[in-house]
Structure 1
C-alpha cells in the first residue's frame, strides 16, 4: 500500500511510460514472488536457529566427538550460502530487469499497434519483442543454472559432513570404543542436524526474485519526498517559465535524460510550442519536471511573472500551480463514471459554464452524439 501511494503521488508518477510499466511490474509480479520468502525462507530460518542447536546438544550428550565434528562443519554451510548468494544476486537482478523491460515493450507495442500497422512497421516491433523475450529466457536460464549449481554445492557440503561423522562412528564401532546404541542414535540424528540448513538454502534460491523485488520496492519508500513550499503560484497568463540546466538521472548508471536542458517558455494564450528530440532523450521526463511531478537531479524550474522576480517551482504550493494547468499525458486514463463526472472532476460547475466550454472546444458535438449525452457512462479505458 505504501509503495502504491508513493508511486501514485510521488516523483515516480511522472516518469516515462517504460519506467511506469516497470514500476507496475514490480508492484504486481515482482512482489508476488516475495511470498516464498516470507512464507518459506523466514520461518525456516527461525526454525533452523532453534532446532539445529537443540539437536546438536542432544548429539553432544550422547557422543562429544561426533558433536565436535558437526559443530566444525555446520558453519561451512552458511559461509557458502553467503558466497553463493552474492554469486546469484546479480543474475536474479538481471532476470527481474529483463522481465520489466519485456513487459514495458509489449505494452507499448499493443498500445501503438494501430499506428505501426498504418505505417507498415509492425514486423520490426515484433522482431524487437522477440529479441527481448529471448534475452529474458537467457537471463532466466542463467539464474536457474546458478541456483541449481549453488544448491548442489550446499548439498555436497552437507553430504560430506554427514559422511565424515558416519565414518568416524564406524571406525570407533569396529574398535569397540562406542556402544552400538549410541552409534545408531547419532547416525539417525546427524541428517536431521543438517536438514534445516539445507532447507534454508533451497528456500533462499526459490525466494531470491522476491527478495530482489522487495529491495527495489523499499528503495523509493526510503527516498526522501521532495519538499514543496506554501507560496501560492502566480497567474500563468503572462511572464515566462524557465528551465535552467535541468538534468534527471535515469535507471542506467551514469546516464541522464534530459541532461543540461535549458529553455524559456513564454506564458499566455495563442502560442503553440513543441519540444522535439529523439526517442529516449527525456521529453516526457522534461514535461514531468515542468509539471512538478518529478524533481530534477540538477538544475531547476522557475516562474517569472511579468515585472517580478523569478520564483522556484519547489517553493510554490503545487496545488495552486496545477489548478492553472491542463495536461494530456501519453497514456490516458479516465476514472469510472459518467462523462460529466470525468469532466467536472468533483467540482460543481454551472450548466451554462459547462455548455460554454463545450462549445468553445467543439465537445458539444461529441456530447450530442452520445446515447445519454453528458450522463453517458464511460466504457473500458474511457
Structure 2
C-alpha cells in the first residue's frame, strides 16, 4: 500500500499536461459560454448605467423615470438572467458529455491493457476511479471551467466599463483585483496538499471495503474478521480526518475571498464618497461604478469556491493519465502462414521498469522447452511478451516476421495457462467453452480425456453441468490445472505457454501432468516457465539473474 501511495504521489507531482482540457468539443463549449458571459455582463452594465442615471435624475433634479426606461432596465436584467441560466444549462450538459467520454476512454484503456499490464492496479482502485470520474469531474466541467472563463471576462468587461465611467475607481479595482487572485492562489496551495491526502484516504477506504466484501468467507475461515474490521475502522477514521481537513481549508478559502471582496468594495465606496463630497466626481457614473463592483468581485469569489472542484479533479486526472499513457505492445496487420511457427528470440525480454534477463534462443516447430531461472529473472513476463500482453525489448520473430508486426490473429494462435487459472462460477462446460464457444459436447469430452480430466468431471453430481463454485472450489489444484490445459487444447493454439502449472503439485503428480502435456500438445511448441527440474526430454533455457538497473540502462 505504501509503495502504491508513493508511486501515485510521484506521478501526481510530475508536471502533467492538462489532460482534462484535451476533449475537442470542450473549447467550443467554453467559447459559447464566454459569449453568453459577455452578453450577460454588457446587459448588466447597461441596466446599471440606466438605473444610476434614473437615481441621479431623481435625487438631483426631481425627475421621475419614464415607462420606457423602466421596461428597458427590466429587459436588460431579464437578458442577464437568461444568459446566466443558459450558461449554467450548457455547463451541465457539457459535464455529462465529457464525463461519459472519460469513462469510455477509461474502459477502453483497461480493455486494451488487459489484466497483465494492470497487474499492479487493484480492481477496487479501478472501480473507485470510475465512480470518482462522475463525482469529481462533473463540478470541474459544469462549474469551474465556465466560471474561470466568466471571471476572466468579467474582469475585462467590468474594468473596461469602469474605465469609461470613472477611471479613478477603475484604478482601485486594478489594484485590488489581482491581490484577490493572489489570495486565492495562496489558499489553493494549502488546499491542494489537503486534497491529495483526502484522495489517498478515500482510495484506501474504498479498496479495503471491496476487499473485505470479496474475501469475507476466507476471513471468516481464518478468524481474521476482527483484525480486518479494525483496519477498516482506522481507514474510515483517516478518511474522515482528511475530509474534515479539506473542509476546514475550504471554509478558510471562502472567508479569505469574502474578506478581500468586502474590503475592496468598502474601499471603493469610501473613495467614491470622498470624491462626491469634494465635488470632484459626478453621481451617475460613480454610482454605476459602485454598482459594478460586486460584478467584478462576485465571479472571483465564486471561482474561489469552485477552485476546490479543480483541486478534487487533479488526483483523478493524474490517475487517469497514468492509465491512458501506459505502453501497450505494438500491433500491426502482418500474418504468418498456418501451422506451428518457428520462433526466434534475440536478447528478448519484457519491456518493464524492472530489468529482467534477456533470452536468445531458436525454437523450431514442435519444441518442448522449459524456461528456468531465479525469481525475478523474467520467466513469466517473457511469456506475456510472447502473447503481446506487454511490450518487449530485443528481437522476437515468428517465421521471420517481427512480433510487433503481428496483430490479434497471432494472439489467437497462442494459448497461455497461468500458474493460478481463473475459473468462473459456472459449470465445467461453461468454463471449457470460454476457449471455444462453438465447441460441441464431443469436442469438450475429447479435450478432457486428452488431459486426463474426463473421468473426474463425469463423476461430479451433474457431470459436465455441475457448477464448480467460485474459483473452481469443487476441483483440486491439479484438476484445475488440467481444466486450464483442456481449454488451451480446445483453443486450437499452435504455441502453448505454461506458467508454473506444476508449482503446487507433488513430484508424482507433476510427472503425470508433464506426460499429459506431452501427449495432448504433441507437435506443437510448448514453453514452460518453471523453477523446478526440467522434464526429461525437454530442452532447457536458462535465465540468469536480472541485470542491475544501471547495467540495463
What is the TM-score of this pair, normalised by structure 2? Answer: 0.53
Residue 106 of structure 1 corresponds to 209
| Structure 2 partner of 1:356 | 446
Aligned to 2:106, what secondary structure does the other structure show?
Answer: helix
Matched, 1:325 2:415: yes
What residue in structure 1 maps to residue 312 of structure 2? 209
Match of 2:236 among 118, 129, 133: 133
Aligned-residue offset at 1:292:
4.4
Matched residue, 2:224: 121
**Paired residues, what number?**
360
Shift of 1:274: 12
Deviation digits for residues 38-87 of structure 1 (CA, Å, limit 9, x no counterpart)? 11111222222333322222322221100111122212233333343333
Please say if residues 328 and 391 of structure 2, whose CA atoms lie closer than 8 Å, have aligned partners that are also in contact.
Answer: no
- Once residues 346 and 16 of structure 1 are traced to their aligned partners in structure 2, the CA distance between those partners, rounded to angstroms, is 25
Task: Kindly indicate whether residue 98 of structure 2 is the aligned counterpart of residue 22 of structure 1.
Answer: no
Deviates more, 1:120-129 or 1:352-361: 352-361
Cα separation, 2, equivalents of 1:31 and 1:283? 40
Q: Does 1:84 align with 2:190?
A: no
Q: How far apart are residue 29 of structure 1 and its match? A: 2.2
**Structure 1 residues 379 and 218 mapped into 2: Cα distance closer, same or farther (>3 Å)?**
same
| Corresponding residue for residue 266 of structure 2 | 163
Compared with structure 1, are the counterparts of its residues 187 and 153 closer, same or farther at alpha carbon in structure 2 (3 Å cutoff)?
A: same
Superposed CA deviations along residues 269-312 of structure 1, whole A, max 9, x for unmatched, are: 899x99989xxxx999898668643448xx78989x9xx99x99
Distance 1:97 1:245, change over 3 A: farther
Which structure has more RCO (C-alpha within 8 Å, separation ≥ 6)? Answer: 1
The structure with more radius of gyration: 2
Please, which runs of 5 or more residues in structure 1 have no aligned partner? 250-258
Shift of 1:345: 4.8
Query: Of 282, 289, 293, which aligns to 1:179?
Result: 282
Residue aligning to 2:544: none
Counterpart check, 1:144 vs 2:247: yes
User: Using a 3 Å threshold, how does the CA distance of structure 1 residues 176 and 291 change in structure 2: closer, same or farther?
Assistant: same
The alignment yields a C-alpha RMSD, in angstroms, of 4.6
Give, in whole Å, the separation in 1 of the partners of 2:380 and 2:216.
20
Q: What residue in structure 1 maps to residue 462 of structure 2?
A: 368
Instruction: Tell me how far 1:318 sits from its aligned partner.
Output: 6.8
Change (3 A) 1:177 1:43: same
Answer whether contact 1:37 1:211 (CA < 8 A) is retained.
no
- Find out whether 1:55 has 2:150 as its counterpart: no
Structure 1-normalised TM-score? Answer: 0.72
**Residue of structure 1 in register with 2:136 after alignment:** 33
Question: Any conservation in 2 of the 1:102–1:136 contact (CA below 8 Å)?
Answer: yes
Partners of 1:46 and 1:192 in 2: CA distance: 14
Segments of structure 2 that go 5 or more residues without pairing to the other structure are 1-103, 473-553
2:113 touches 2:328 (CA, 8 Å); kept in 1? yes
CA shift at 1:5, angstroms? 0.6
The CA deviation at 1:358 is 4.1
